[in-house]
């Protein structure tokens, strides 16, 4: 655990009375986080298992999930940098969160990045690749969103929350498909959404489909 994480662990579970009253913001303590995650221990240690927390706060659960997944990546792939990078990216890509408070979403992203950064630099120090940091930052920018999980929109823009599904293909490539969060949750909207071509799309159809991209090229341009 890095210094910032240790400091966070010592922090109180409540930031202010107003935030508790307005948003029910009481962070879960470490012990409860671990006890709850232990109920699905196998999933927390499966590198590509998908976790979505719809009121993620600043990430007490998601950071622990990433820590557990990366421990598995370390033990299995720590000897090969490219393999470690590939699987660490898959671990990050399968973690999702939403919070109604923008500072929480930002902090959650930052904590997840710090956990990745700490493991990566400890293992590979000067051999760490800028592209890999960029990929992870890009994934976190797409996966940890500022949004209202009750009305499924961004509180400011009122635009729908859109999540990206990341699927590894042929080892080093990633496939991105975007889905509207509301439609993933509310099955009643099954045939009311439209795809890129303006055709009615089923609930399990993406609203946008992206070309395959090498996992170290993610975020290189706007196209992916």
Ligand X SMILES: C[S@@+](CC[C@H](N)C(=O)[O-])C[C@H]1O[C@@H](n2cnc3c(N)ncnc32)[C@H](O)[C@@H]1O
For the CB of residue 109, give the shortest distance to ligand X in the complex, in Å: 14
Please report whether residue 144 would count as binding ligand X according to CB under 6 A.
no
| HEC profile of 70-138 | HHHHHHHHCCCHHHHHHHHHHHHHCEEEEECCHHHHHHHHHHHHHHHHHHHHHHHHHHCCHHHHHHHHH
* CB atoms inside a 10 Å sphere around CB 65: 23
Which residues does 209 contact at the CB level (< 8 Å), separation at least 6? 176, 177, 178, 196
Piece in contact with ligand X (CB under 6 A), picked from 22-30, 44-52, 70-78, 113-121: 22-30
Q: How far apart are CA 86 and CA 77, in angstroms?
A: 9
Specify the DSSP class assigned to residue 153. B
Among residues 26 and 169, whose Cβ is nearest to ligand X?
Answer: 26
The gap from C-alpha 121 to its chain's centroid, in whole angstroms, comes to 20
Among residues 78 and 155, whose Cβ is nearest to ligand X?
Answer: 155
From candidates 73, 98, 162, 213, binder to ligand X by CB under 6 A: 98
Among residues 74 and 148, whose Cβ is nearest to ligand X?
Answer: 148
Please report whether residue 100 would count as binding ligand X according to CB under 6 A.
yes
From candidates 21, 39, 150, 223, binder to ligand X by CB under 6 A: 150
For the CB of residue 107, give the shortest distance to ligand X in the complex, in Å: 10
From candidates 2, 15, 28, 185, binder to ligand X by CB under 6 A: 28
Count residues contacting ligand X (CB under 6 A)?
A: 20
Residues of this chain, 37-56, that bind ligand X according to CB under 6 A: 53, 55-56
Give the three-state DSSP class for 203.
coil
């Amino acid at each position: 655990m890095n210094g910032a994480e240790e400091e966070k662990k010592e922090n109180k579970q409540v930031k202010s009375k107003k935030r508790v009253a307005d948003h029910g913001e009481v962070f879960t303590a470490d012990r409860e986080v671990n006890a709850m995650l232990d109920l699905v221990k196998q999933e927390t240690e499966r590198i590509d298992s998908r976790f979505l927390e719809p009121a993620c706060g600043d990430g007490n659960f998601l950071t622990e999930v990433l820590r557990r997944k990366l421990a598995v990546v370390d033990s299995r792939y720590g000897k090969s940098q490219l393999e470690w990078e590939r699987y660490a990216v898959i671990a990050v890509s399968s973690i999702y969160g939403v919070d109604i408070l923008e500072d929480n979403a930002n902090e959650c992203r930052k904590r997840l990045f710090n956990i990745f950064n700490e493991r990566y630099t400890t293992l590979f120090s000067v051999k760490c690749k800028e592209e890999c940091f960029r990929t992870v930052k890009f994934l976190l920018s797409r996966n940890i969103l500022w949004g209202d999980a009750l009305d499924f929109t961004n509180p400011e823009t009122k635009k729908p929350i859109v999540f990206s599904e990341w699927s590894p293909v042929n080892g080093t490539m990633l496939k991105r498909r975007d889905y509207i969060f509301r439609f993933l949750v509310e099955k009643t909207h099954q045939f009311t959404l439209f795809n890129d071509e303006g055709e009615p799309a089923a609930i399990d159809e993406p609203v946008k489909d992206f070309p395959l991209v090498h996992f170290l090229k993610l975020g290189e341009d706007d196209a992916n």
